[in-house]
A and B are shown apart, each in its own frame.
Chain A
Amino acid sequence: RAQNIGVSYQPALYWSLPFFIATEKGWWKEVGLDPKFSSFPSGAPQVAAVPAKSWDVGGTGSAPAVLGAARVNLITIGIINDQSSINALMARPNEAEAILANPTSLKGKQILLTTNSTGEYAAISCLGKWGLKPNDVQMVNLGQADVIAAFSGGNGALAGLWAPNMFTLEKRAGARTLCTGKEGGVRIVTALVARADFAKENPKQVAAFLAVISRGLEWQKKNKSEAFELMKRWYKQGGVELDDRFLQQEIDIQPNFYLEDQLRAFDRSKGPSDMDQWFAGLGAYLKSTGTLKEAPDTRAFITDEYLKMVRDDPKLRKFAAGD
């Protein structure tokens, strides 16, 4: 009998594509899950809906994952892909060269971005690379859509965006990417999360969920063209209309974490894991903005317990590998 499980995600994003594929392919049932989906426009409401037990497991950005750990007892049980390259600072085409040549010219200028987000995290890292401190510029807080509108309307010197919004701006206004989080030296990943109490009571289902997502990632690797078509449909359903070129670019610069990559990133056998370091950086950033009083202890909320369950259960492991 299929078990009920509340699954949350954000629609029309590359990282949430596995959720869509799994549904299209009917994999949930195969592992005995009967998912009830809820989708959120951003991480904040997604995390805020946890106390009302609106969902049990899901995917989200790394900032909401850390915030959720601090506020509503979310645990991070896996990761999907690497977003370091799709959190970017962008400039108008005619100004890009000048800024790159002399980044200090940005002093006192406005940067339009969504504050308290991985976008800002990436932007700060880029500023750091250019030798600027966050206080040297004016960060203007806007929603992603408003960043696009305002920047196209001639406001601000730089725009901090993530995909697919960065491509939208590129397409509409010809904007150029100056620097990404990766170039700034930070690692930003999308997380698979679960409510701690749910995971404790239903470890099997959490593991099954991980297996389904992992299989989706595997499947994308193996069926590139079909996956591309599904991605187009997934974006269209969410109201995002981008050229194929941008879609391909998204795929190319966001490497997925397959099961073994995830296990490696979570591995604490040689001291703190990669994940511990990545999320500790984010925690420090959230503390610096005043969002959190204390960065949460990564050891307390990042766990590979469920990943290991997938690895150790032959059936699940086989399922996850897509065989």
Chain B
Amino acid sequence: MLRQETRVPVWLPGTLSVASCIGLWVVATTFEFVGPARLPGPKDLWESFEQLMDPGYAGGTLPQQVWFSVRLVLAGFAVAIVTGVPLGILMGMSRRAEALINPAFLVIRPIPPLAWIPLAILWFGLGNGAKIFVIWFGAFVPALINTYTGVRSVDPGLIAAARVHGARPWHVLFEVVVPGALPLIFTGLRLALQASWTALVAAELVGAFYGLGRVLMTAARDIYPGMIAAAMICVALLGASMTYLLGLAEAKATPWRNR
């Protein structure tokens, strides 16, 4: 923090801004400054949620849709961790590996998840594999890059210290490099989590039976603003709460950074 604390309670500005946004929305929609066809009002939103709970929408009820999406996101995110982090460590530790992998990585990296869908369908069919692949692709890149940066930023003094105390390469890796890179790895994981959620919509374009992405796309095709907003709110809240959980995991995994 740069500025000195003021006497304003911590929660106040956030509450005020959220409240004023909601207030603005309620006013704008109830007095129809913005038509219901363009921005759903509170009532539309409530009805959409009701419909989503019972009888359901786009092939399933809210719990089904959420459960399906969360599973996909977690699977894609997990695969991104187990591939991106080790590869990032490898590239960070070995110039040779970096030079070898970089060209392919550079070309593939800017390709949008959406563009992978046809290939994903081809390689993994219409099952969850293709969806997980699309999510993985979005999450893999930040996981790898941040791990790489983290490894590269480990204080060489600490590596030297480990070596003069008799550390073998695997000691250096597991006792120095990995813990040293851990804070940045977690930064990467946060970004990867966000990427997983944002890739979800694209992933569920691959013939999903359930899922919030499917709800969103169906609602878009049905021109159903209330439902679109409902799905967006669900995705946003789920994403934010999973990030919160990740923060707890980070605190657990890096106890030395807690005060």
Proximity bits, B49-60, A CB within 8 Å = 1, else 0: 000000101100
Bound form: Cα–Cα A292–B224 in Å: 9
Say whether B165 faces chain A, with CB atoms less than 8 Å apart: no
Residue numbers in B under 8 Å from A153 (CB-CB) = 121-122, 125
Given contacts A51-B35, A110-B126, contact A116 B205 (CB under 8 A): no
Tell me, in angstroms, the Cα distance from A116 to B125 when the chains sit together: 22
Decide if B222 is an interface residue (CB 8 Å cutoff). yes
Tell me the minimal C-beta distance from A176 to chain B in angstroms.
Answer: 21
| B218, CB-defined interface residue at 8 Å | yes
Given A115-B218, A142-B205, do A149 and B223 touch, yes or no (CB 8 Å)? no
Least CB distance from B204 to A in Å reads 9
Contact check, B220 vs A44: say whether CB atoms are below 8 A apart: yes
Distance A15 CA – B221 CA, assembled complex (angstroms): 21
Determine whether the beta carbon of B207 is less than 8 Å from that of A142. yes
**Contact: B207 with A141, CB < 8 Å?**
yes
Residues A116 and B218 in contact, CB atoms below 8 Å apart: yes
**Contact call B223/A67, Cβ cutoff below 8 A:** yes
In the bound complex, how far is the Cα of B221 from the Cα of A68, in angstroms? 11
Measured CA separation A142–B214 after assembly (Å): 10
- A131-188 contacts to B, CB under 8 A, are 138, 140-143, 145-146, 149-150, 153-156
Q: Within the complex, what minimum Cβ distance (angstroms) separates B216 from chain A?
A: 12
**A156–B222 alpha-carbon span in the complex (Å):** 25
Task: Give CA–CA (A219, B125) in the complex, Å.
Answer: 46
Within the complex, the shortest CB–CB distance from B58 to chain A, in Å, comes to 8
A98 on interface, CB distance cutoff 8 Å: no
- Min Cβ gap B124→A in Å is 9
Residues of B within 8 A of A149 (CB): 117-118, 121-122
**Looking across the interface, which residue of chain A has its beta carbon closest to that of B222?**
A291
- Given A48-B220, A156-B126, A290-B57, A150 contacting B37 (CB threshold 8 A): no
**By the criterion CB–CB under 8 Å, are B126 and A48 in contact?**
no
Minimum C-beta distance from B231 to chain A (A): 15
Contact, CB under 8 Å: A51 / B121? no
> 0/1 per residue, B124-149, Cβ < 8 Å to A?
01100000000000000000000000
Question: Which of A52, A72, A143 is within 8 Å of B223, CB to CB?
Answer: A72
A–B Cβ pairs within 8 angstroms, 27 of them: A42-B221, A44-B222, A48-B220, A48-B223, A51-B35, A51-B38, A68-B223, A72-B37, A110-B126, A112-B207, A116-B218, A116-B221, A140-B209, A141-B214, A142-B206, A149-B118, A150-B121, A150-B122, A150-B125, A150-B207, A153-B122, A155-B121, A155-B125, A155-B207, A290-B55, A291-B224, A292-B222
Known A-B contacts: A51-B35, A156-B126, A290-B57. Give 18 more (CB < 8 A).
A48-B223, A51-B38, A67-B223, A68-B223, A71-B223, A72-B223, A112-B207, A116-B218, A116-B221, A116-B222, A141-B207, A141-B208, A141-B214, A146-B117, A149-B117, A149-B121, A155-B121, A291-B222
